[in-house]
Amino acid sequence: MPVIDLAITPLRELNSALHSIQQGSNDLSFEVVNPRGSHSVAVGIDTPVKVDVKGSVGYYCAGMNDGGAVTVHGSAGPGVAENMMSGTVVIEGDASQYAGATGRGGLLVIKGNAASRCGISMKGIDIVVHGNIGHMSAFMGQSGHLVVLGDAGDALGDSLYEATLFVRGSVKSLGADCIEKELRAEHLTKLAELLEKAGVTGVRPEEFKRYGSARNLYNFNIDNADAY
């Protein structure tokens, strides 16, 4: 397994190596040491490579991931897993703002807390946060699932489309057009699947509440003008 020390090796060389993996290669596991808060670590992966980052990272780690399995053994700065297409990204610590923004697929797991705008404009990604999330999370979420084991801040799901939100703790306030919805059998099944994938144990799907769009803002209506 290649070990890349970012105290010695330029970040550009790490990302170039991850982008240059040939089909059938045996080098499908990388260990990255001394990241020291570097930005754009392991971005643009498009093969089923495993990357273990031993430390905390800065902006945009694992952005545009398409099939890779990236684990950060630390915390992540803003924009982790931004525009992810497939694969998995696991943050063992906390994540800063807009984690999983515009994500189109794959699974993002944050084992600590996530800051504001987690899942902003999500487009199919599944996000599981073991801790709490900040304000304006899932803003304009279009599809996918956001699962929060802790509490949610202000304006959860503001201007939500068809993303589904599950929160186990309290919600400080709901955003425009976001409402609590019935937690039906099919939602419990999906939630149980997501919890298992995210390594969550000792928690029952029945402990969560489901939130979704009231669908009043899809088209402009003068009666709803105050909500825009």
What pTM value is reported for the model?
A: 0.94
Q: Write out pLDDT tens, residues 158-167.
A: 999 999 999 9
Give per-residue pLDDT as tens, 129-138.
999 999 999 9
Up-side HSE of residue 40: CA atoms within 13 Å toward CB?
Answer: 8
Nearest to 135 by CA among 97, 78, 101, 177: 97
Distance in angstroms (rounded) separating the CA atoms of residues 128 and 89: 11
pLDDT (mean) for 179-200 = 97
156's enclosing H/E stretch is none
Homologous superfamily assigned to 3-20+37-214: Glutamate synthase, alpha subunit, C-terminal domain (2.160.20.60)
Question: What count of Cα atoms within 13 Å lies in the side-chain half-sphere of residue 184?
Answer: 5
Tell me the DSSP string of 88-121.
Answer: EEEESS-B-TTTTTT--SSEEEESS-B-TTTTTT
CA neighbor of 15 nearest in space, from 41, 37, 50, 39? 41
